[in-house]
Amino acid sequence: MGPPRGAAAAAPAPGVSEVAPGVLRVTMPLPFALDHVHVWLLVDRDGWTLVDTGIQDRATRARWERLETEILGGRPVRRILCTHHHPDHLGLAAWLAGRWGAEIWCSQGEWLVARTATLEGPEVAAAETAYYRRAGLPSAQAERLEPQTHAYRELVAPLPAGHRVVRDGETIDIGGTEWRVVVGRGHAPEHACLLAPERSLFLAGDQVLPEISPNVSVWPFDPEDEPLSDFLETLAALRRLPDDLLVLPSHGPPFRGLHRRLDELALHHRERLDQALAACAEPRTAWEVMQVLFPMELDPHQTSFALGESLAHLHHLLARGLLSRDRPAGGAPDRYRRHA
């Protein structure tokens, strides 16, 4: 990797590569089965713009402290743009903003969800308990799962009251390159991707991934959500972008062939919907459907995502009128059944 424009020459740091002139990919470790996230340093006119941050933990903070010397070269980070609210993308935003005096940029929807996810109190715990009970999660399994709001608070530095809102379609000048905000939905409420048409670059975040399907889940803070329709509509909308873009994802390698990947993701969900519908030939709980869709052994972190995604597919089938849902009185689990 050669040094970015205007930066002091330095040997490449481990896990750092220049994928395009002035666009540096920095790989941060994650303590999960998905063991990494890519964040992005973009050379700006008088410093840097950072896109995403990694989670809040000791290892990631120490890595940023090293990178200040190895990569930043004394040039300031002026702006931290977070694609969405998930901890591996926004977790260290507040800590880095305080360290560097940088402004946090984020869509309004993602910011509000992040603030909501950091709330504490008995009503938050009650919402999670009701969510697991309605899904039919056995009590032994529920005890294995760390409360999701607690896990989120552990991985995200306390957020400030304000931020700079980014909006779909707005253009941001970063180092003389015009990046257009392209909002995607389903994986997160208002996921901000960045498109540089003149350079054929698409910073896709988690909206389009090359090797795995982005998680599309229903969560306890919005238990009646139907995010899969939003995700599928976003896949269709993204087909309007050029197919020859270099796609820069948050997990996995950069790739070309956007349209083919969009088609693969849409097919994946159609197959999952067919599986879920077939599983509901007899009344099934979301937990029982999850075991059909995800028959492999799952750790607690993976289980929470698999359950949320199973509910997303069931809610999509409900919205299309292909399933009915029975909600018994007294807090018994919901059961889903295919219409005859």
Q: What is the pLDDT of residue 118?
A: 82
Determine the Cα–Cα distance for residues 57 and 178; give it in Å rounded to an integer. Answer: 33
Residue with the larger pLDDT of the pair 322 and 151: 322
Query: Which residues, other chains included, contact 215 with Cβ-Cβ below 8 Å and sequence gap of 6+?
Result: 187, 305, 308, 309
Residue 157 has pLDDT above 90, yes or no: yes
Residue with the larger pLDDT of the pair 176 and 126: 176
Residue 93 lies in a domain: yes
At 231-276, the pLDDT tens digits run: 999 999 999 999 999 999 999 999 999 999 999 999 999 999 999 9
Q: What is the pLDDT of residue 66?
A: 94
Residue 269 lies in a domain: yes
Residue 36 lies in a domain: yes
Q: What is the pLDDT of residue 301?
A: 87
Residue 334 lies in a domain: no
Q: Please report which residue ranges of 91-226 form alpha helices under DSSP H.
A: 93-100, 108-117, 122-135, 139-144, 148-155
Q: What is the pLDDT of residue 3?
A: 29
- pLDDT-derived band at 4 (thresholds 50, 70, 90) equals very low
Residue with the larger pLDDT of the pair 10 and 290: 290
Provide the 3-class DSSP secondary structure of residue 260. helix
Mean pLDDT calculated for residue range 175-189? 98
Query: Which residues, other chains included, contact 142 with Cβ-Cβ below 8 Å and sequence gap of 6+?
Result: 132
Mean pLDDT calculated for residue range 105-116? 95
Determine the Cα–Cα distance for residues 47 and 108; give it in Å rounded to an integer. Answer: 25
Q: What is the pLDDT of residue 128?
A: 87
- pLDDT-derived band at 8 (thresholds 50, 70, 90) equals very low
CA-atom Rg of the chain in angstroms: 21
Percent of the chain whose predicted confidence (pLDDT) is above 70: 94
- pLDDT-derived band at 136 (thresholds 50, 70, 90) equals very high
Q: What is the pLDDT of residue 14?
A: 65
Q: What is the pLDDT of residue 50?
A: 98
Residue 121 has pLDDT above 80, yes or no: no
Contact criterion met (CB below 8 Å) for 52 and 192: no
Residue 176 lies in a domain: yes
- pLDDT-derived band at 120 (thresholds 50, 70, 90) equals confident
Q: What is the pLDDT of residue 213?
A: 97
Cα dihedral 226, 230, 236, 237 in deg (nearest 10) = 170
Q: What is the pLDDT of residue 161?
A: 85
Percent of the chain whose predicted confidence (pLDDT) is above 90: 80
At 276-313, the pLDDT tens digits run: 999 999 999 999 999 999 999 999 889 999 999 999 99
Q: Phi, psi at residue 153, to the nearest 5°? A: -60, -35
For residue 241, the enclosing domain spans 16-277
For 263, the enclosing helix (H) or strand (E) is: helix 258-279
Q: What is the CATH number of the domain that holds 88?
A: 3.60.15.10
Q: What is the pLDDT of residue 146?
A: 62
Domain tally, the chain: 1
Q: What is the pLDDT of residue 79?
A: 97
Mean pLDDT across the chain: 92
Q: What is the pLDDT of residue 145?
A: 78
Q: What is the pLDDT of residue 13?
A: 62
Mean pLDDT calculated for residue range 190-204? 98
Reported pTM = 0.93
Residue 308 lies in a domain: no
Residue 332 lies in a domain: no
Contact criterion met (CB below 8 Å) for 110 and 85: yes
The amino acid occupying position 158 is P
Mean pLDDT calculated for residue range 74-86? 96
Residue 315 lies in a domain: no
